[in-house]
Each structure stands twice: as C-alpha cells, then as structure tokens.
Structure 1
Amino acid sequence: MKILRRKADLRAVTRSWRSAGETIGVVPTMGALHAGHLSLVEAACARADRVIVTLFVNPRQFNSPEDLAKYPRTEESDAEKLAPFAVDVLYIPEPEEIYPEGFATTVSVAGVSEGLCGAARPGHFDGVATVVTKLLLQSDADFAFFGEKDYQQLQVVRRLAVDLDIPVEIVGCPTVREEDGLAMSSRNQRLGPKGRAAAPAMRAALEEAAHALVGGASAEGALDIARQALTAAGYEQIDYLELRADPGLLPVSTLDGPARLFAAAWMDGVRLIDNLPVAAA
C-alpha cells in the first residue's frame, strides 16, 4: 500500500491503472477507522481492481472548532488497520491539496440536504458535498463506497454525482453495529462508561417505533414514545427524531411507502445519529 499526499502523485497512479483497463474504487474517510470503515474497504476490494482509501479531516463540514479539534487523528493506526486488505493507495492529502490558496467554490445540494442533520448542522452538507466532489475527481473512481449510517449524507452524495455528471457509481453499504446494537462511529470512543452503556437505547427506540408504525400506529404516536425512551435512557438533547420518505427524504406523517426513521441526540456531550428502514405492511 502506497501512502500519497499530493493529488498529482495520485493522478499519476490512477492514469497508469486506467491505461491498463483497471477499475478504481474509493473509500472516503476522515480516519479514526473502525469496523464500519473496514466493511466499506472490504466491499471496495471485492468490487474494483484497484482501491484507494482517503483520509482527510475536512474542516468545512464541522460546525464547531472545538468538535474539529477533538476529532481523533490516528494516521499510523489507520494504516495498520488497512494492511490486511488489498488497498493500493492510502491518500492523505495536505489541506492545500484540497483547499488551495484562493479556493472559492462550494458545492451545495438542495432537497435531500434539508432538515435532519442539514438543519441541526448549518453548512455541514455544503462542506461534505464540496470535499466529496473533490475526492471523486481526484481519485477518478468508478465506484465510491459510503455507509448507510450517514444515510442523509449518502443521498447528498448520490445527488451531486448525478447532477454534476461525475461518472461514478455511489455504493451504499449496510451500517455496522456493536454487539449491543450501537452504530459504529469514531465519536463513540468519546463516550464515558455510563454513556456508552446507555447509548444503544437509540437503536432500541427506533426499532420500537418501526414496529409500532408497521402495526398501524401514527407517526406522531410512535415518535413520541421513542422520544420518551431516549430521554429516559439519559440522552441530554434530541436534535431530531423523524420519519422520512426513502430515498427522497421528504417528511411523511403516515407509513404508506418505503420510509426511514432518523434520530440524532446527545449523550455525554457527544452527538450520535442512527436510522432504520421501515416498510409498510
């Protein structure tokens, strides 16, 4: 596995792969890799001839300088975790490779970015869309792999790839969970012991709400019970708990087609998110 830090070096490598007729898969990450990320890497290795993993902590998608400062930087251990996989390149660009002096362009995706994390974190998805666009173009990938845990992000990326005519297939991969049901996230390591023990209540609350909806309960009633469950478990603040159409992510009040439940709430000062598909009976 080569470690590259300049886009010119990355493009030289991808040009040679293209000349050989090989397909390219990319897994964009911000590092602090865990089993969820590695499942994306495994999917990429199974699908593409060549695989690039990117590691870039993108400042433009953080709403808080404090949150950005706290985000773990674990480049050495990340490289070690990738060693067992058939990864060809670990691309760790310097900030100026992504945002050179004079950079003045922002990619903004309407519709699917609105509400949910888009409302709770203003500007977040502009930062995500901009950096992902850059990474897709720099990697020249045929396939790009994203986890369904960040389902709204996945839909934003799919939309920008279509709208900007980027010739890449966006592949969504299932959420990887801890044994107790908590969705894997780099943020989980910031939870204290009590918070970590209580955090799986988010998944349980979503499952209970999904069961109620399929059984004929109203969205308002099912979501109210889920809110009570999160509060009782010790979640300090609920940013949102909503039922949205899938994949358009428009708000819905009744379960009359494919939909997803979405939740974001704070535990131990850490913002956790999750989602769960719900299908009408």
Structure 2
Amino acid sequence: MKKKYAVNLPLHIMMIPALVFSIMFAYVPMTGIVIAFQKFIPNRGFFNSIWVGWDNFAFMLNMPDFSQVIYNTIFIAVMKIIAGIIVPVVVALLLNEARSKYFARSIQTMIYLPHFLSWVILGGILIDILSVEGGIVNRIISGVGFEPVFFLGKNEWFPFTLILSDVWKEFGFATIVYMAALTSIDPTLYEAAYIDGANRWKQTLHVTIPGMVPIIVLLSVLSLSNVLNAGFEQVFILYSPSVYQSGDIIDTLLYRVGFVEAQYGVSTAVSLFKSLIGMILIATSYGLAYRYANYRIF
C-alpha cells in the first residue's frame, strides 16, 4: 500500500493546481445553489431574498414543455453519441485500408479542421448552405426535382440537422483516437490471418475490429455522462421559436428562463436538477469504464 502511494504521489502533486482551480471556480460558486430555494431578488442578495422551499422545483416540473425538453435533450444527445462513435470508427477503418499514406493523411487533415472552428463560424456556414432560398443543398434538391427542405425551420428535420452537423464537426477528431488504437494492434496477428487464408475483409472483421473494441467500449461508456449535454452553443445558434418543439433542450431553456425572463430561482432549480442527474451519470460511467474497460485515472 505504501509503495503504491509513493508511486502515485507525484501524480497527486501534479493535480494540486487543477484542484485549487476547481475549488475556486467550480465549488465556491456552488453557494449560489441556495437560489434554487428562493424567490431571488438580485439587489437583496442571498440573505435577504424570500425562501420558497421546493416551489421552484414544483414550478419546473409543471412547466408545460418541460417533459418535451427532457425528451429533446436525451434524444439529441444519445443520437450524437451513437453517430459520434459509428462514423469515426468506419472512417478510421477506411483510412487504415488506404494504399496511399499521403492520401490518407490528406483526408485526415481535411476532416480534422472543423473541430477547431467554433459553432459561431460553423453556424453561419450551415445557415448559408442550408438556406431555402439560394442554399447550395436546396439548390441541389431542387435541381433533381424535389421541393426545397427547410432544415432549420421544420421540427421533423431540425434534430437530425443538429446531429449530422455535430458529427461533421467532431468526427475527424474522434477518428484520430481510433487511428491510434489501430497502431496498437499486433502486426503478427495480420500475418497469422494472412497465412490462414484471410483476405483484407476477413482481417478487418476478425483482427482489426476486435482490436478496436476496448477503446470503443471505453469511449462509449464514458460518453454516458454527456446524455444531458446536447450542445448549447450549437442549438442556440441554429434554433428559432419555430423549432422549439423538437430542438429546445435543457440548456436553452435555462438561458431563456434565467436570462431572458429573469426567473433566477427557477433556472437555478433546473440547473441543479441537471447537475444532480449528471453527477449520477458520471459516477456510473466511470464505474462501468473501470469494470468493463479497466479504465482508471491512475
């Protein structure tokens, strides 16, 4: 036990600056949680505002669209997680099979670039290319004889627009993780499979994919903690009142209730509700990752 502690001591010392930073900017501000139990009036502060107990939580649960917002958040987040795993894995497998390494690196660089752009920039690009009037996507759709599609203004299209655009932005970065996992596969396994008569498809099916399974399982389990994070910045930039029914998520609801309507108590109650569920999901995901993927911080 003492030997293990001595080995991990430098790692714990390295965590001290991050721990101090977290205490200052994550835990000290948690005193604001009391707002969830008050009718908060800014000029009165915490101590002089009216205590209302659980009224803000009751109001939150009785909001007419709250259940729909929860559904939207979970649906969008889960679909992003699923697509964000499948697409990078497929792309990594395809790049791994490319004969020209120059071609593979060029493609990898191009698909990696959107990760560095903010949603402010990408949102403007999407609004332009998906525009009903003059957008390149709808010009192509009209050119083949179909009616233009209002991707950002129709409830049946908007969630899938969010999911696909998020995959477009992030799958290049995730591909790098899976490409790194491919380099850890023992080359002798491919040699043995080749000697046994396995073609490239059989080698991919029985060697490459099983070799990627541990990292796929790990990232899948850890992504459970993001089930309630559907992407505020992306949704906030792309949505409008016409798609609140299918695109409104917890974070955008918090913004409107807290900053637009100035209902600070209700918005804090919603945020606290989300944080508690998120804490449970994070603890569960790390527990599953430790058990099934042997993942640990140290």
Shared fold, TM over 0.5: no
TM-score class, shorter: under 0.3
Q: Which has the larger radius of gyration?
A: 2
Q: Whose strand proportion is higher, 1 or 2?
A: 1
